[in-house]
Amino acid sequence: MKTKLIIFLFLILLCQYSFSWGFYAHGKINYYAVFLLPPEMMVLYKPNISFLEEHATDPDKRRYAVPDEGPRHFIDIDHYGKFPYPDLPRKWKAAVEKYSEDSLKAHGIVPWHVQAMLNRLTIAFSKKDFTAIMKNSAEIAHYISDAHVPLHTSSNHNGQLTNQKGIHGFWESRVPELLAEKQFDFLIGKADYLKDPGDFIWKRILESATAADSVLTIERELTQQFPQDKKYAFEDRNGKIVKQYSSAYTIAYNNKLDDMVERRMRQSIYAVACFWYTAWVNAGQPDLKELAHQHFSNDELISIDSLNQQWKEGSRMLGREE
C-alpha cells in the first residue's frame, strides 16, 4: 500500500512539471527579455515586468479550459517525414491546403501561431492598447519559448514511446529550477529587428527537432548509470519536501547535455525580445511613454483572474497532456 502511495504522489509531481518550460522558466524568460529592449519600449515594459513574469504561463492555464489551446504549444514535426521536413509547407495557407486544418492541429501548430500572435501584438501597438499590448506580449513569449523546447517538436513528447515518461518536465522544469539561479548566464545583449519572423521561428523549430533525440538518448543512457535510489530523492521544491529527480542526477544530465537547457533558455529570451521589438517597429514605433502609467481596469483584472480560477478548478488538461 505504501509503495502504491509513493508512486501515486510521484505521478502527481510529474503532472506539476508538465507545463512547457515550467512556471519558473517561463517567468524568467519574460523577465529577462525586458532588459533587451530599447529605452523607447523599456519605459512601458519595465514598470509592467511583474505582470509579464506572472502571466507568462497564462496559455498553459488556458489548456485546462479551452480545447483548441493545446496545439498552439507544439508541433510533432517528425510526423512529416525526415529532417528538414521539406514536404511541410512553412506558410499556413499552403499547409492547410495540403493537410487540412484539423490534421495540422492534431500534430501542433506552434510556428504558425507565433506568427498570428505577432500580428495581434502589432495591431495592439498600432492602437496603443495598453491591455492588449501587455496580454499579447506575455502570451506570444510563451509560444516562442515553447518552440525552443526540443520535446515540443517530437511525437515522443514525454518519453511515452521509450519508457521515459516524465522527461518532458525533467528537462524544462527540474533542470532550470535547480541550476538557473546558480550558474545560468542571462546577460545576452539587445533585441534585433526580425526581417522575416516566419523564417526565424521555423529555424528555431528545426533546431529543437534536431536536439530532441539527444534529450531522450542521453537521459536513457544516464539512467543505466544511476540506481533508482540515486536517480530520485526527497528534496526541497518551493518549500516542500517532495520526491523528484535527485540533484546529482539532474546535474549529471545537464552536464551530458552540454548546457543545452541554458542555451535554449538564453535563445528564448533573445527571441522573445526580438518579436516584441519587431511588433513595435512594424506598428510604426509608437510613443509608449503615455501608456507607462496606465493600469488594468477592475473588469480587466477580474477577466484575467477568471483564467486562474478555471485553471484551479480544471481537473485535467484538455487535449494532449505533456
- Find the CATH number of the domain harbouring 149: 1.10.575.10
For residues 148 and 316, the model is more confident at 148
Is residue 147 a contact partner of residue 198, using CB atoms and an 8 Å limit? Answer: no
Residue 147 within a domain: yes
Q: Is the pLDDT of residue 34 over 80?
A: yes
Banded pLDDT at 13 (limits 50, 70, 90): very low
Is residue 269 a contact partner of residue 190, using CB atoms and an 8 Å limit? Answer: no
Q: Mean pLDDT over residues 269-278, rounded?
A: 98
Q: Mean pLDDT over residues 97-125, rounded?
A: 98
Residue 5 within a domain: no
Give the separation between CA 35 and CA 188, rounded to whole angstroms: 9
Pairing state of beta strands 232-237 and 240-245? antiparallel
Residue 237 within a domain: no
Residue 319 within a domain: no
Q: How many domains does the chain have?
A: 1
* Percent of the chain residues past pLDDT 70, beyond the cut: 89
Residue 17 within a domain: no
Q: Is the pLDDT of residue 287 over 60?
A: yes
β-partners of residue 236 are 241
Cβ count near 88 (within 10 Å):
19
Residue 177 within a domain: yes
Provide the domain limits for residue 44. Answer: 23-226+258-313
Residue 306 within a domain: yes
Measured in whole angstroms, the distance separating CA 86 from the mean position of its chain's CA atoms is 25
Residue 321 within a domain: no
pTM equals: 0.90
For residues 88 and 18, the model is more confident at 88
